[in-house]
Structure 1
Amino acid sequence: MSSSTTLVPPPAAAEPSHHTLRLRLKPKGSLAGYVDGAWWPRSRDLAAELPALLAVLAIRPGTIERITYNLTTWTSVPRRLLIEGSAVRMEGFRSQPPCTVTVAGQGRQRLTLLILPPDMPEAAAHEILMRAARRDNADSPDTLLAPGRAVGGEFSDGATERWEVDGGRVR
């Protein structure tokens, strides 16, 4: 089974990251909504992006045991990643929303993160990161990522957008 496990070295002190992690989480204890925050990775290579994310997230769900993701969103992902000496089980599903990743830790603790496309414009990404991390935010992933939302402006609701797509028109 070693062929399905990828060893990801821990971040070395001699090799500091030149990029900050683009992540925003709701305050601890927030129960509202579909997501617990948002993450804006720099690529679609989940195995390469996870070490920095998991280093930060380990304080929330404890030791991370499992990551679930949508199979169509990411490039090739191994069944397990070895991160800082611990095996993390990677489980891809076609049924998981394409714009989410769930990080599960000990004791059934888990975080569901909204995933922003790596090529999203910075201003739009910042707006969505901040909105997804608000304590009271209960927007669905589709609503948070809905196209045509103006940065800094009012946002239309998802029901109206679906109605317009189905042939309705807002004047």
Structure 2
Amino acid sequence: MNSALWPPPPTRPLPRLYVAPQSTVPRRIDGAWWPRTFDLLTELPQLLSGLPESWGQIDSVLVNSALWTGAPGRLLVRNHVVRLHSTASAHAPNTVVLMASGQGRRDLLVVPPEATEQAAASLMSAAGLPAEQSFLMS
């Protein structure tokens, strides 16, 4: 029997995510996400794993096809099938729409991966999110 110690598996970085506080006032944007790439197959599982439990289990995701690569029809995330949809619509091109049965729709502003922290703060402010809030960073 080999008693050599195996190194621990690499940990995935936490998603750079800001979720607006719950409010009774409807808002257009529910938070902001700053992915590290525009590779949906890499980034989406990390995002979905980092969302608040109160948002429910995300069943469907809508992204802008002009931004994202790797958008198949379905993706298995933590033993749950998530349907992926894409649009080329100019309506809200820098957002990702998350839908959960019984919980409704959540829209996240997508900060481009190459953005600086200052640019990310400016985008959040322009979207009506508190720019002084920092993203959860790993």
Tell me the TM-score range normalised by the shorter chain. 0.7 to 0.9
1:85 to 70, 79, 85: 79
2:123 to 119, 128, 153: 128
Rounded Cα–Cα distance in structure 1 between residues aligned with 2:14 and 2:57? 22
1:116 to 111, 124, 127: 111
Q: How many residues align?
A: 121
Task: Give the 4+ runs in structure 1 shifted more than 2 A.
Answer: 29-33, 126-134
Higher RCO, Cα 8 Å, sep 6+: 2
Deviation at 1:61, TM superposition (A): 2.2
Unaligned runs of 5+ in 2: 1-7, 131-138
Rounded Cα–Cα distance in structure 2 between residues aligned with 1:123 and 1:30? 29
Match of 1:15 in 2: 10
Q: CA RMSD in A?
A: 2.1
- 8 A contact 2:14–2:50 mirrored in 1: no
Rounded Cα–Cα distance in structure 1 between residues aligned with 2:48 and 2:24? 20
TM-score (norm 2): 0.76
Rounded Cα–Cα distance in structure 1 between residues aligned with 2:40 and 2:77? 13
Structure with bigger helix share is 1
Deviation at 1:122, TM superposition (A): 2.1
Structure 1 residues 33, 70: closer, same or farther in 2, change over 3 A? same
Unaligned runs of 5+ in 1: 1-12, 135-171
Rounded Cα–Cα distance in structure 2 between residues aligned with 1:58 and 1:68? 19
Match of 1:105 in 2: 100
Deviation at 1:129, TM superposition (A): 4.0
Q: Which has the larger radius of gyration?
A: 1
Rounded Cα–Cα distance in structure 2 between residues aligned with 1:132 and 1:42? 23
Counterpart mapping for 1:12-161 below 5 A? 14-17=9-12, 19-29=13-23, 31-57=25-51, 59-95=53-89, 96-129=91-124, 132-134=128-130
